[in-house]
């Protein structure tokens, strides 16, 4: 597995990789390759933005609250939120979770990008984000369209339902019981200093630009419930393992999470189905094996969380530059090692 990280980093000219693999009846494997900046190597305890993998955590929170009777996934938005332009109040929480609401993706409006570039230090409210919506793609339940707006709306509902910041509820329900000490919500908690430096994709004059100290408040406040969690690879792999071992939500709720709707070809890379905050990956991505999980991207980072049900193996990996080819092939390499080289009993 270490060889896969090293070779893929070199082959695809990546910056740095951090990965963790949990295999039944073995110690957790942690691996790193490359650098954070200068000659400072990536370390296993470095935090990365997990981007849209946040959706999986937020979905688990919604399901946990539903188990406690605090809300129902069949609740319409109108039960929890006031009316907003271009948002159908009949949309259910379930339709937000699996992107069948039809609500417009705010990042598809170029005006919001111009505003972020103009003032990257601006603090946005969810209501301001919703003001950039255009008309829906389709009526609720009549199609699939991945949209971060779904989880911004869901985050607003969850905060009303629990009456406290999402981070506090994640810590109480998930992080503390599971012993996850390196998971943080950017907009609600102070992050520790051991963040991996992040780098832009494009090389200028033979160099990459370090984005670590550029203001990111606008980006983080816009995406907050749809992509704002930071974790280490180790804690992300532990989260993945605990989720699919039934330690986070009930088996009935996990079955709901894994009720996949078909995604249009080419709409999400390497994905053929989407559940409640969960992707079903094409078999070509995972060497013919079934793989479920989520991927995510943020400023200068890409992350993957993958679970292989036949092997009960959890894989987490992050890269500190937006080099999609490098991290994708590194993850595929780790999966190949698991299914071809390790003597595992298939479940």
Note the pLDDT tens digit of each residue in 26-71.
Answer: 999 999 999 999 999 999 999 999 999 999 999 999 999 999 999 9
Query: If we measure between CA atoms, which residue out of 179, 154, 131 comes closest to residue 60?
Result: 154
pLDDT tens-digit profile of 158-178? 999 999 999 999 999 999 999
Q: Which two tokens stand for residue 261?
A: 């709707």
Between 122-126, 241-245, 306-310, 342-346, the lowest mean confidence (pLDDT) is in 342-346
pLDDT at 347 over 50: no
What is the C-alpha to C-alpha distance for residues 195 and 197, in angstroms, rounded to an integer?
A: 6
CA 230 – CA 290 distance, rounded (Å): 27
CATH class of the region 2-340 = alpha beta
Residue pLDDT, tens place only, 106-124: 999 999 999 999 999 999 9
| pLDDT score for 267 | 87
Burial 263-280 (b: 16+ CB within 10 A, else e): beeeebebbbbbbbbbbb
Mean pLDDT of the chain: 95
User: Is residue 202 scored above 70 in pLDDT?
Assistant: no
> Which residues, in sequence order, are CB contacts of 50 under 8 Å at separation 6+?
227, 229, 230, 231, 236, 296, 298, 303, 305, 318
Judge whether 56 and 240 are in contact, CB under 8 Å.
Answer: no
For residues 115 and 45, what is the distance between their CA atoms, to the nearest angstrom?
Answer: 34
d(CA 277, CA 172): 20
pLDDT score, position 344:
53
**pLDDT for residue 207:** 61
Looking up tokens 């990042």 gives 107
Cα–Cα distance for residue pair 3/269, rounded to 1 Å = 25
pLDDT at 342: 74
The model carries a pTM of 0.95
Whether 44 and 32 have beta carbons less than 8 Å apart is answered as yes
């Amino acid at each position: 597995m270490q060889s896969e990280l090293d070779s893929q980093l070199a082959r695809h000219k990546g910056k740095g990789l951090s990965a963790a693999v949990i295999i039944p009846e073995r110690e957790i494997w942690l691996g790193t390759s490359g650098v954070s900046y200068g000659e400072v190597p990536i370390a296993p305890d470095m935090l990365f933005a997990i981007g849209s993998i946040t959706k999986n955590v937020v979905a688990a929170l919604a399901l946990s609250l539903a188990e406690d009777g605090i809300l129902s996934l069949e609740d319409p938005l109108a039960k929890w939120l006031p009316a907003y332009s271009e948002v159908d109040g009949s949309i259910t929480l379930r339709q937000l979770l699996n992107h069948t609401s039809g609500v417009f993706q705010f990042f598809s409006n170029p005006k919001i990008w111009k505003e972020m570039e103009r003032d990257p230090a601006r603090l946005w409210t969810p209501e301001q984000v919703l003001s950039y919506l255009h008309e829906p793609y389709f009526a609720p339940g009549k199609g699939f369209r991945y949209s971060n707006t779904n989880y911004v709306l869901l985050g607003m509902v969850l905060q009303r339902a629990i009456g406290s910041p999402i981070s506090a509820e994640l810590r109480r329900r998930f992080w503390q019981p599971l012993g996850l000490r390196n998971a943080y919500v950017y907009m609600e908690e102070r992050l520790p200093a051991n963040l991996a430096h992040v780098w832009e994709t494009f090389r200028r004059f033979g160099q990459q630009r370090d984005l670590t100290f550029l203001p990111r408040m606008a980006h983080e406040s816009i995406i907050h419930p749809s992509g704002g969690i930071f974790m280490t690879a180790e804690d992300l792999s532990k989260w993945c393992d605990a989720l699919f071992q039934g330690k986070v939500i009930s088996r009935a709720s996990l079955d709901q999470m894994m009720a996949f709707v078909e995604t249009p070809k080419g709409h999400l890379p390497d994905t053929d189905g989407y559940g409640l905050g969960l992707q079903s990956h094409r078999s070509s991505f995972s060497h013919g094996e079934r793989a479920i999980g989520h991927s995510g991207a943020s400023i200068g980072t890409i992350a993957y969380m993958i679970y292989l049900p036949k092997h009960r193996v959890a894989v987490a990996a992050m890269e500190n530059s937006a080099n999609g080819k490098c991290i994708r092939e590194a993850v595929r390499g780790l999966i190949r090692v698991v299914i071809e080289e390790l003597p595992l009993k298939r479940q």
